[in-house]
Amino acid sequence: MAKLIINGGAKLEGELSIHGAKNAALPVFAAALLTEEPVIIYNWPAISDVYNMLSILEHIGAHVAYEKDKLVIDTRRALRWEMPDKLAKEIRSSIFMMGPILARFRMARFTYPGGCEIGSRPIDLHLRGLKNLGVNVTEAGGHIMCEGRRLKGGDVHLDYPSVGATENLMMAAALAPGNTAIRNAAREPEIAELQDVLNQMGSDVKGAGSSTILIEGKGKLRGFSYTCIPDRIVAGTFMVAAVVTNGKITLKNVIPEHLFAITAKLREAGAQIKVYDDAITVIGQGRPKEMHLIETGPYPGFPTDMQAQMCTAAAIAKGTSIIVESVFDNRFKHVGELLRMGANIVIKNNVAVIKGVERLHGAEVKSMDLRGGAALVLAGLCAQGKTVVEQARIIDRGYETLESELSLLGADIRRED
Ligand code: EPZ
C-alpha cells in the first residue's frame, strides 16, 4: 500500500495552479448519458475517483477518448442500465448515474452504494425524489429496481439539501415530460455547473444556487463541452498548508467566492489572506490562533470536506477551538491519528474540542478517508520529525500528485509504493 514519508518543519512558499474539481466533474460525466451526441470535458482532474467513474461509463457501453487536454465521452452505444454491484459498492459517486440512466433507458438497477469511511451515506432522498417523478422503485435483496416508463415532472421537497440527490433529480427531470420543482435543493457551486451544462444541452433549468430549482423536461438533449471549475477543497487544503507551515502560498486559477467560508476562518486563525480576481495568497503569521467555533453545513456554510484539514490547524493553534461536524455522522476518524501525533482533542458525539499544542510530533498514521488523509499530510508538514502516512492511495482519490505539488513548495515529502 502506498505511503507518504514527510519530514516536517519546512515553510511552504511559492505558487501553484489548482486542478479541476472532482465534485463538479463527476455529475457532469453522468450527464453525458442524457445525450447520444459526444461531449467534451476540459480541465478534468486526473484523480482515481474520476478514472473509476469513467470506467463505469465504459462498462455500460460508452466510449471515452483521453486526449491531451480533454476527454471526449460518446454514449451513443451505451446499453446497460444495470450497475454492477462491485462498481456501485466501490465507487460511491456511481449513485450519480441513477438519474441519467433512468432518464435514458427508463430503467435502472443498482445495489445500495453502502456506507463509506465518513458515514452511513443513505440514498433515501434520491429514491423518494424519483418516486415523486413517477418512478416505480422496488427494493429487494440489497438491489434497487427503478422502472421509469411513467417518468414525469413533479414536485420534490428534499428533507436535507443533499448535493447528490439534487444532481440526480435534476438529470432525471431534464428528460422527464413536464415541469419539475426541487425544493430545499443543494446550493453548492457544482449545482450551478450542472445547470449550465444541462442548459447548454438544450434543457431549461433555473434556480441553481438558490433553494428551488425548476426544470422543464425535454424530449431530447444535445452534446456539450465543459471546462471543470477549480477544486475549492483542493484550494482550501493548500490554504491550510500555508497557515500550518507559517509559509506563503499563492493559488492561481481559483474562484475566491467559493472559498469565502475557508478564508474567513483562516483569517480568524490569524492568517493574512490577499484575494485577487482568480488567485489568492495565504501568508502564515506564526502559530495559528484558536478558532472559536467551526460548524460544517450545506453551502455557503463551512464545507464538511474541509473539516479534517481545519482540525489540523486547530491542533497547533494557541488556545482551544471547537469543530462541529453537522453533515456526516462519522467524519472524525482522522482525530485518532492526530492524537498519535500529540494532538489534544476530545470528541463528544459530533463535536471536537481541540486544545492547541505548541508542536505535533511525527508518527506512523493511516488515511481513513480522503480528506482525513489530506489532514494527516498537513499535520506531517508541521510536525517535529518524521511522519509516515499510510494508505496514501485514498488521498489520490481527490488530489492530483499531492506530494509533487508540496515538494515544489518546499516540503520534504516522498512517496513509497
Ligand atoms: C457530495 O456527497 C460530495 N461528493 C461530498 O464530497 C461532500 O462531502 C457532500 O456532497 C456534502 O457537501 C460528491 O459530490 C461526489 P450529500 P453526497 O448527499 O452528495 C445525507 C469529498 O470528499 N443524505 O449532500 O453524497 C448524508 O448522509 C466528498 O469530495 C441522506 O440522509 O452528500 C449526509 O449526512 C465526501 N439521504 C448529508 O445528507 C440521502 O439520500 C449530505 O450528503 C442523501 C444524503
- The residue ranges of every structural domain in the chain are 3-19+230-416, 22-227
Burial of 67 (0-12, 13-18, 19+ CB in 10 A): exposed
Residue with CA nearest ligand 1 atom 14: 23
| Mutation probe of ligand 1 site: the residue of 19, 23, 97 with most atoms within 8 A of C-beta | 23
CA gap 235, 212 in Å, rounded:
28
CA gap 245, 285 in Å, rounded:
10
Q: How far is CA 192 from the centre of its chain?
A: 15
Q: How far is CA 27 from the centre of its chain?
A: 11
Q: How far is CA 304 from the centre of its chain?
A: 9
**Distances from the Cα of 358 to the Cα of 78, 294, 308, angstroms:** 56, 21, 19
| Mutation probe of ligand 1 site: the residue of 234, 327, 367, 394 with most atoms within 8 A of C-beta | 327
The catalytic residue among 116, 146, 311, 382 is 116
Q: Do domains 3-19+230-416 and 22-227 have the same CATH topology?
A: yes
CA gap 87, 310 in Å, rounded:
32
* Overall pTM surpassing 0.85 (yes/no): yes
Per-residue pLDDT of the chain (417 residues; tens, 9 = 90+): 899 999 999 999 999 999 999 999 999 999 999 999 999 999 999 999 999 899 989 999 999 999 878 999 999 999 999 988 887 777 777 888 999 999 999 999 998 876 677 888 889 999 999 999 999 999 888 899 999 999 999 999 999 999 999 999 999 999 999 999 999 999 999 999 999 999 999 999 999 999 999 999 999 999 999 999 999 999 999 999 999 999 999 999 999 999 999 999 999 999 999 999 999 999 999 999 999 999 999 999 999 999 999 999 999 999 999 999 999 999 999 999 999 999 999 999 999 999 999 999 999 999 999 999 999 999 999 999 999 999 999 999 999 999 999 999 999 999 998
- 22-227: CATH number: 3.65.10.10
In terms of DSSP H, where are the helices of 216-280? Answer: 232-244, 260-268
How many angstroms separate the alpha carbon of residue 309 from the centre of ligand 1?
Answer: 18
- 3-19+230-416: CATH number: 3.65.10.10
Ligand 1, residues at Cβ distance < 6 Å: 22-23, 26, 93, 119, 121-126, 160, 162-165, 186, 304-305, 327-328, 370-371, 398
| Mutation probe of ligand 1 site: the residue of 137, 160, 400 with most atoms within 8 A of C-beta | 160
CA gap 61, 59 in Å, rounded:
5
How many angstroms separate the alpha carbon of residue 328 from the centre of ligand 1?
Answer: 8
- Tell me the chain's radius of gyration from C-alpha atoms: 21
Burial of 77 (0-12, 13-18, 19+ CB in 10 A): exposed
How many angstroms separate the alpha carbon of residue 351 from the centre of ligand 1?
Answer: 19
Angle, helix 232-244 to helix 370-382, in steps of 10 degrees: 20
Look up 116 and say whether it is catalytic: yes
Nearest to 116 by CA among 360, 380, 328: 328
CA gap 116, 231 in Å, rounded:
22
Burial 114-126 (b: 16+ CB within 10 A, else e): eeebbeebebebb
Q: Which secondary-structure segment (H or E) carries 402?
A: helix 402-408
Residue with CA nearest ligand 1 atom 28: 305
How many angstroms separate the alpha carbon of residue 311 from the centre of ligand 1?
Answer: 20
